[in-house]
Amino acid sequence: MQATAGDRLLMHGRAVGQHDRAAQVLEVLGTEGEPPYRVRFEDDGHEAVVAPGPDCVKETPNQPRPNR
């Protein structure tokens, strides 16, 4: 995955009952857009450094969201 600051990451829950979480990329810490990323979670404002796995989807700011 490659991301830039301002992209949105949607991390799907990994276990039954675990909710999806959305976060905004604040800073790219890897080289050439690669992880890890410093993010701010939308639900509680918590900031963390993440290395997204295969259960993560990247959305760019101008990209239309898929119908769910």
Could you give the count of Cα atoms lying within 13 Å of 68 in the half-sphere of its Cβ?
2
This prediction has a pTM of 0.82
Strands (E), 5-62: 8-11, 21-28, 37-41, 47-50, 56-59
Q: pLDDT digits over 2-61, tens only?
A: 999 999 999 988 888 888 999 999 999 999 999 999 999 999 999 999 999 988 999 887
